[in-house]
């Protein structure tokens, strides 16, 4: 018991009667009605008050910060990540075309919005010019493209009498410029890696942006989508799962370490503050309407879930024990003892 006082004989009889009364309400056919009445009563009472009056904003901030720091790295979330990887590897029991799930018009709409971001992408790519390594990579990438073009042109020229020897001269000159690992190409672009890399990155950025703005790009992506949409959805396979496991694990660790940072916690505070500013004046029922959730459906869900939980507690004897622990201190109190005496 939670108190050293013991109920008197009459108080004990009243306690037994009340425990039996509540056990009866939580048994059989009466259980559904009891749960429905409790849920409806809670919704009805809470529906008269704004969320800002019912929930302390500071407490929610602390809960969100603690959840961000602990939940993503928990064993349960790790298990969910592993389970999701397994499900993706296995695939659906009955394969179906991807186009049955994802609407093509919606894919086209998303693609249009992404292609419209080309100015923002151009600004982001421009920042890459500050990285010397990116400049070196871009220089070598463009150098390899030039080399492939020269080799392709030479193959065609060799088929034309007299043109092959002329093309060989240009190819040999280009090969001297390219050299091992394309390092000479960087010197051709500029005397320093900085200038040559900057030029290469900007030129490569322009190629990317102009490709995205080309109307043919949209049609090409949608054509690829049409081909993919016709294929049945299937699992990755066990071999692919093993290959992806390392990537998934590393990504999970990245998320865990990032969400645990104090800057993310402050971002969580800002989100909570924005929520209360936007919805703090709403009642719970009004918020459910905004979320397109039906109160009747939620009550029905609780009624559907409750029997499994309550039956398990009753069969183990925990339900009666919990009721007694909550009610017994009242019947053992001096106020009740004085009333009954």
Looking at the fold, whether 6 and 108 belong to one and the same domain comes out as: no
High-pLDDT (> 90) share of the chain, %: 47
Give me the pLDDT at residue 127, please: 83
* Residue 327: domain span: 1-49+283-341
Q: At residue 202, does pLDDT exceed 90?
A: no
The more confidently predicted of residues 267 and 164 is 267
- Asked, for residue 67, whether it belongs to a domain, the answer is no
- Asked, for residue 157, whether it belongs to a domain, the answer is yes
∠ Cα 288 289 295 (to 5°): 55
**Number of independent structural domains in the chain:** 2
**How far apart are the C-alpha atoms of 31 and 310, rounded to whole Å?**
9
Looking at the fold, whether 103 and 195 belong to one and the same domain comes out as: yes
Q: At residue 176, does pLDDT exceed 60?
A: no
Looking at the fold, whether 104 and 213 belong to one and the same domain comes out as: yes
Looking at the fold, whether 308 and 225 belong to one and the same domain comes out as: no
Count of helices and strands (H, E) across the chain: 18, 0
Looking at the fold, whether 226 and 293 belong to one and the same domain comes out as: no
**Closest among 87, 74, 79, 105 to 225, alpha carbons compared:** 105
Question: How many Cα atoms within 13 Å fall on the side-chain side of residue 99?
Answer: 13
Q: Give the 3-state secondary structure of residue 40.
A: helix
**How far apart are the C-alpha atoms of 201 and 186, rounded to whole Å?**
12
Q: Give the 3-state secondary structure of residue 97.
A: strand
Looking at the fold, whether 38 and 109 belong to one and the same domain comes out as: no
Write out pLDDT tens, residues 33-82: 999 999 999 999 988 999 999 999 999 999 999 999 999 999 999 999 88
Looking at the fold, whether 213 and 305 belong to one and the same domain comes out as: no
- Asked, for residue 104, whether it belongs to a domain, the answer is yes
CA R_g for the chain: 35
Looking at the fold, whether 102 and 228 belong to one and the same domain comes out as: yes
- Asked, for residue 276, whether it belongs to a domain, the answer is no
Looking at the fold, whether 37 and 132 belong to one and the same domain comes out as: no
Lowest mean pLDDT among 52-61, 98-107, 215-224, 230-239: 230-239
User: Left (φ > 0), alpha (ψ -120 to 50) or beta: where does 28 sit?
Assistant: left
Q: Helix 318-331 to helix 295-316 angle, to the nearest 10 degrees? A: 90
Write out pLDDT tens, residues 270-308: 999 999 999 999 999 999 999 999 999 999 999 999 999
Select from 234, 268, 293 the last residue of a domain: 234
- Asked, for residue 136, whether it belongs to a domain, the answer is yes
Select from 234, 249, 264 the last residue of a domain: 234
- Asked, for residue 74, whether it belongs to a domain, the answer is no
**How far apart are the C-alpha atoms of 269 and 112, rounded to whole Å?**
34
**How far apart are the C-alpha atoms of 124 and 107, rounded to whole Å?**
24
Measure Cα distances from 168 to 66, 156, 165, 176 in Å: 69, 11, 5, 12
- Asked, for residue 213, whether it belongs to a domain, the answer is yes
Looking at the fold, whether 207 and 323 belong to one and the same domain comes out as: no
Spacing of C-alpha 181 from chain mean position: 41
- pLDDT-derived band at 316 (thresholds 50, 70, 90) equals very high
- Asked, for residue 312, whether it belongs to a domain, the answer is yes
């Amino acid at each position: 018991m939670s108190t050293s006082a013991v109920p008197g004989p009459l108080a004990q009889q009243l306690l037994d009667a009340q425990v039996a009364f509540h056990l009866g309400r939580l048994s059989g056919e009466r259980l559904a009605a009891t749960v429905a009445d409790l849920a409806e009563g809670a919704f009805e009472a809470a529906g008269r008050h704004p969320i800002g009056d019912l929930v302390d904003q500071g407490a929610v901030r602390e809960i969100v910060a603690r959840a961000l720091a602990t939940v993503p790295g928990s064993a349960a979330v790790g298990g969910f990540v592993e389970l999701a990887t397994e499900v993706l590897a296995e695939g659906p029991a009955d394969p179906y075309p991807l186009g049955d799930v994802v609407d093509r018009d919606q894919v086209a709409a998303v693609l249009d919005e992404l292609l419209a971001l080309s100015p923002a992408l151009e600004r982001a790519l421009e920042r890459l010019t500050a990285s010397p390594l990116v400049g070196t990579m871009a220089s070598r990438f463009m150098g390899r493209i030039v080399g492939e073009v020269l080799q392709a042109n030479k193959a065609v020229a060799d088929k034309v009498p007299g043109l092959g020897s002329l093309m060989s001269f240009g190819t040999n000159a280009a090969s001297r410029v390219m050299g091992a690992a394309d390092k000479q190409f960087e010197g051709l672009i500029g005397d320093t890696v900085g200038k040559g890399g900057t030029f290469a990155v900007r030129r490569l950025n322009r190629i990317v942006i102009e490709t995205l703005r080309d109307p043919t790009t949209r049609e090409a992506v949608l054509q690829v989508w049409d081909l993919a949409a016709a294929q049945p959805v299937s699992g990755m396979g066990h071999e692919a799962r093993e290959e992806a496991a390392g990537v998934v694990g590393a990504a999970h660790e990245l998320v865990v370490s990032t969400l645990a940072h104090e800057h993310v916690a402050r971002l969580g505070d800002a989100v909570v503050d924005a929520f209360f500013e936007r919805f703090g004046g709403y009642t719970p029922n009004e918020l459910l309407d905004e979320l397109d959730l039906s109160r009747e459906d939620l009550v029905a869900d609780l009624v559907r879930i409750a029997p499994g939980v309550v039956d398990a507690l009753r069969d183990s004897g925990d339900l009666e024990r919990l009721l007694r622990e909550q009610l017994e201190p009242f019947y053992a109190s001096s106020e009740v003892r004085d009333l009954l005496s």
